[in-house]
Chain A
Amino acid sequence: MGSILKKYVYRYNAVIFVYIFLIIIFLGFSISFPIFRSSKNLTNILIQIVPLAMVSIGQTIVLIGGGVDLTVGSVISLTTVIMANFLGDVPSVTIIRILFVFAIAIVIGIINGFICNETKIAPLIVTLCTSSVIDGAVLAYRMSPGGIVPKELGNFINFKFGIVSVSTLIVVVLYIIFITIMSRSTFGIHVYAMGGNSEFAKMAGINVKRVRIMTYIISACLACVTGIVIAARMGSGLPTVGAPFLIDSLTAVIIGGTGFSGGHGFVLGTLAGAVMISVISNALNMANVSPFYQYIAKGAILLIAMIINSRKK
């Protein structure tokens, strides 16, 4: 029993550390600001974490596979404008819109993965260029915010069971699915192997190309889900809404203990990273601190988490 515990602590020490850090921060805020611990605010936090927590799952998986996906922000923007505009203002097209954005996300994932597979260009440059193309397409389609997302979708996403909304439930389900996939399935093992050393993974008989394309498809699809949730909540298409999610998702993933070098990291850690970012910005809002300080808080937490992580290695 003790040895099993030791094994788990050893294996997940980065994750355990992030959660301890998160709990300390959470307790600290709860003690210092009474408004922060009110049930209304906790409900708010549960809703606020949703987009970042979703999009960061995909980024984690791509980073574990040794890549990086800079297109997530652009895919989110793309999804919101399509959800608000595509095929005119008829409520019944919602399903078609959703299917259409997923189809586009899959194509984007395939393109990203394909280029990374077939060329020697670094993933950073590949996805930088594809995100520029997607951004351009979004702005060509819709220059300014507008369009209408059917209210039914918003009502469904925001429907609450007690303090838990449907969007929060979707996040929980997604985390359970992807934690299981990454830790229990062959695909997960293949992603870790590919990120650790793609040549060795290939020699071991893993279809590296397919696995890489799959990681980019997952990332694009999760960005797409995030876009749908944001569009449903805002009720309209916002061509630049995705931009901050790029840096924020990378920050959440890195706080969660996943590195840029590939082959290691945990989806569970990313959840803590995303929650931490949202909790801190919420608490700073509650404390009436100027939003400008959030940049400093985010940067400081990222650096502190990294310093402590690198100390342990």
Chain B
Amino acid sequence: MKDAKLKIETKKRKTFIYVFSNIFRKGGVYFVFLILVVFIGILSPKSLGPSHIMDMLKNSSVLGIVSIAQTLLILTRGIDLSVGANIIFVMLLVDGISMGNPNKTVLVIILALVVGILIGLLNGILVVKLKIEPLVGSLGVMSLITGISYIYTMGFGKGTAPPFINTLGSGQLFGFLPVSVVIWAVISIVFIIILKKTIFGRHIYAVGSNPKSAAVVGINVSRVSLIVYVISGLLVSLAGIIWAGYLSSPTFSGGQYFPLDSIAAVILGGTLFAGGVGGVGGSIIGTLIIGFLASLLNMIGLSHPWKLISSGLIILLIVFSYSGRSRTN
């Protein structure tokens, strides 16, 4: 009798926890983001003013665009560690070829996008056609592109971005809206629509959740994956163009954070490593968490080492808070 009662009680408790955790899991990342914003608001109410928020968004926009590319790849069971090297390479090309000459703007933009497509194609062929594991393939490509960047510049980036590209990276529309944030927003909306509303988007989810059954249903799995790689190469090169405009002079540093930050943003956003589950919306919030967290830690006045420590712990905690305990327990 007592046993039965206990059983019912634990069942009740379990369902309560289940419901609660389900709400948290579905909206977890938004919750966390809200908490972060509240924290920033308490610590320094001024920093939630429009100009400061626009600044934080501007600083996150390059990572945001890269995270969209990474989301598409992780959804189809891919991954790309070469994004940082590619951004740096595109930036060096844009700065080095144009040398700040406005007449070459169109030329360098086209060149950069072509380079992006080619790198995406290379990654895609390695993974899709030659059946190399994505992590490894992109590791090799990363090494190659880094080498090419160094050889191209002999270690010192030269030149500067033309005015139009500077506007893309650090200019403002109507005096308050950063252009790069607008680009990020447009790309986000486009890819949210593509993923949710188009046949190609459904194919991406199908390929990610089970490539074999996707193939059985008649989806050309390797073509879908290859297109995703090319699209992400294109997005990364666009991020590289914006990065060139964002920085005043070309530098090699900074690129190394993109691969792991973008993966962290995607995972924070609730996209599963296993593929097939997640979306661009979560990754946007994930990027914002990383960006806002950085400025929050700045605001508190932490030095660089303590920022590394706390961001590592906080990201781990956030991912844990909605991915939960292991099922094997």
Q: Is the C-beta of A135 less than 8 angstroms from some C-beta in chain B?
A: yes
Q: Of B35-43, B91-99, B141-149, which stretch is located at the interface? A: B141-149
A132 to B317, CA, bound (A): 13
> Whole-angstrom distance from the CB of A207 to the nearest CB of chain B?
12
Q: Provide the residues of chain A in CB contact with B315, threshold 8 Å.
A: 125, 129, 132
Q: Is the C-beta of A302 less than 8 angstroms from some C-beta in chain B?
A: yes
Q: Is the C-beta of B103 less than 8 angstroms from some C-beta in chain A?
A: no
Determine which of A120, A261, A296 lies in contact with B148 in the assembled complex, contact meaning CB atoms within 8 Å: A296
Residue of A nearest to B266 (CB): A125
Give B142-174 interface residues, CB cut-off 8 Å to A.
Answer: 142-148, 150-151, 154-155
Q: Provide the residues of chain B in CB contact with A79, threshold 8 Å.
A: none
Q: Is the C-beta of B175 less than 8 angstroms from some C-beta in chain A?
A: no
Q: Provide the residues of chain A in CB contact with B248, threshold 8 Å.
A: none
A167 to B305, CA, bound (A): 32
CB–CB B147/A302 < 8 A: no
Q: Of B16-24, B127-135, B198-206, B236-244, which stretch is located at the interface? A: B127-135
- Given that A295-B150, A299-B144 are known contacts, is A247 also in contact with B139, CB under 8 Å in the complex? yes
Determine which of B137, B147, B273, B327 lies in contact with A296 in the assembled complex, contact meaning CB atoms within 8 Å: B147
Q: Provide the residues of chain A in CB contact with B143, threshold 8 Å.
A: 247, 251, 295-296, 298-299, 302
Give A229-280 interface residues, CB cut-off 8 Å to B.
Answer: 247, 250-251, 254, 259-261
> Whole-angstrom distance from the CB of B195 to the nearest CB of chain A?
22
List residues of chain A with CB under 8 Å of any chain B CB: 115, 117-122, 124-126, 128-133, 135-140, 143, 198-199, 202, 208, 247, 250-251, 254, 259-261, 290, 292-300, 302-303, 306-307, 310, 313
CB–CB A128/B264 < 8 A: yes
Determine which of A135, A208, A259, A297 lies in contact with B133 in the assembled complex, contact meaning CB atoms within 8 Å: A259
Q: Provide the residues of chain B in CB contact with A307, threshold 8 Å.
A: 126, 130, 132
Determine which of A115, A139, A254, A310 lies in contact with B305 in the assembled complex, contact meaning CB atoms within 8 Å: A139
Chain B 262-294: CB-based contact to A (< 8 A → 1; otherwise 0):
011001000001000000000000000000000
- Given that A128-B260, A132-B311, A292-B155 are known contacts, is A260 also in contact with B144, CB under 8 Å in the complex? no
CB–CB B308/A310 < 8 A: no
Q: Is the C-beta of B313 less than 8 angstroms from some C-beta in chain A?
A: yes
A146 to B94, CA, bound (A): 39
Q: Is the C-beta of B325 less than 8 angstroms from some C-beta in chain A?
A: yes
Residue of B nearest to A304 (CB): B140
- Given that A119-B324, A250-B139, A292-B155 are known contacts, is A310 also in contact with B147, CB under 8 Å in the complex? no
A299 to B324, CA, bound (A): 37
Main secondary structure of the interface of B (DSSP, over half): helix
A202 to B303, CA, bound (A): 44
Knowing that A115-B316, A121-B319 touch, tell me 13 more A-B residue pairs with CB under 8 angstroms: A117-B326, A119-B320, A121-B316, A125-B263, A128-B264, A129-B312, A131-B312, A133-B313, A198-B328, A199-B328, A208-B328, A295-B147, A310-B132
A293 to B305, CA, bound (A): 32
Determine which of B150, B304, B323 lies in contact with A121 in the assembled complex, contact meaning CB atoms within 8 Å: B323
Determine which of B151, B320, B327, B328 lies in contact with A292 in the assembled complex, contact meaning CB atoms within 8 Å: B151
- Given that A119-B323, A136-B306, A310-B131 are known contacts, is A129 also in contact with B150, CB under 8 Å in the complex? no
CB–CB A302/B140 < 8 A: yes
> Whole-angstrom distance from the CB of A246 to the nearest CB of chain B?
10
A128 to B303, CA, bound (A): 20
Q: Which 10 A-B pairs have the closest CB atoms?
A: A299-B143, A295-B147, A136-B308, A132-B312, A136-B309, A296-B147, A292-B150, A139-B305, A140-B305, A299-B144
Residue of B nearest to A247 (CB): B139
Number of interface residues of B (CB under 8 A): 49
- Given that A121-B320, A135-B308, A250-B139 are known contacts, is A296 also in contact with B144, CB under 8 Å in the complex? yes
CB–CB B325/A118 < 8 A: yes
Residue of A nearest to B82 (CB): A299
Q: Provide the residues of chain B in CB contact with A313, threshold 8 Å.
A: 131
Q: Provide the residues of chain A in CB contact with B150, threshold 8 Å.
A: 292, 295
Residue of A nearest to B81 (CB): A247
CB–CB B135/A260 < 8 A: yes
Q: Is the C-beta of B253 less than 8 angstroms from some C-beta in chain A?
A: no
- Given that A122-B267, A202-B328 are known contacts, is A290 also in contact with B151, CB under 8 Å in the complex? yes
A131 to B155, CA, bound (A): 28
Q: Provide the residues of chain A in CB contact with B325, threshold 8 Å.
A: 118-120
Determine which of B267, B307, B329 lies in contact with A125 in the assembled complex, contact meaning CB atoms within 8 Å: B267
CB–CB B146/A295 < 8 A: yes
Q: Provide the residues of chain B in CB contact with A293, threshold 8 Å.
A: 147, 151
Q: Provide the residues of chain B in CB contact with A310, threshold 8 Å.
A: 130-132
A297 to B324, CA, bound (A): 42
> Whole-angstrom distance from the CB of B305 to the nearest CB of chain A?
4
Q: Provide the residues of chain B in CB contact with A133, threshold 8 Å.
A: 308-309, 312-313
Q: Is the C-beta of B194 less than 8 angstroms from some C-beta in chain A?
A: no
Give B108-138 interface residues, CB cut-off 8 Å to A.
Answer: 126, 130-133, 135-137
CB–CB B132/A120 < 8 A: no
CB–CB B308/A139 < 8 A: yes
